[in-house]
């Protein structure tokens, strides 16, 4: 049986939701940020029990998908304690978009 990788006509927003929400580490990061309002990378790494390198990789992916934001722009983060937070409403929109797609709405 062939493996289904990307169904034809899959909306971009659904593709983003699957990538962002279909990963346990990213879910834990989003959960931690949602519960704490904002966290620095070291705080977040400790909270989710992962390395800072791993968490930063996931944060960058979530940022690219428009789900999290840092209090400093990318070019100015070096050597600073950047605080990360979930973009208000972004997580709800991603979950709703995925749910609507799966349920055929």
| pLDDT for residue 38 | 94
Check residue 4 and give its pLDDT. 63
Domains and CATH numbers, the chain: 12-103 (1.10.10.10)
| Global confidence as pTM | 0.86
- Long-range contacts for 99-105 (Cβ within 8 Å, ≥24 apart)? 101/10, 101/11, 101/14
What is the residue-level pLDDT of the chain in tens, covering all 105 positions?
A: 566 677 778 888 898 899 888 899 999 999 999 999 899 999 999 999 999 999 999 999 999 999 999 999 988 888 778 999 999 999 999 999 999 999 988
pLDDT at res. 31:
96
Closest CA to 61 of 98, 26, 92, 18: 26
pLDDT of residue 3: 63
Q: What is the pLDDT of residue 92?
A: 93
């Amino acid at each position: 049986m062939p493996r289904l990788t990307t169904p034809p006509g899959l909306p971009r927003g659904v593709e983003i939701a699957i990538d962002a929400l279909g990963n346990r580490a990213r879910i834990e990061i989003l959960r931690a940020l949602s519960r704490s309002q904002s966290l620095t990378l070291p705080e977040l790494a400790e909270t989710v029990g992962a390395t800072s390198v791993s968490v930063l990789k996931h944060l960058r992916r979530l940022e690219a998908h428009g789900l999290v934001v840092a209090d400093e722009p990318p070019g100015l983060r070096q050597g600073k304690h950047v605080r990360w937070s979930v973009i208000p409403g972004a997580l709800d929109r991603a979950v709703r978009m995925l749910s609507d797609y799966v349920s055929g709405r």
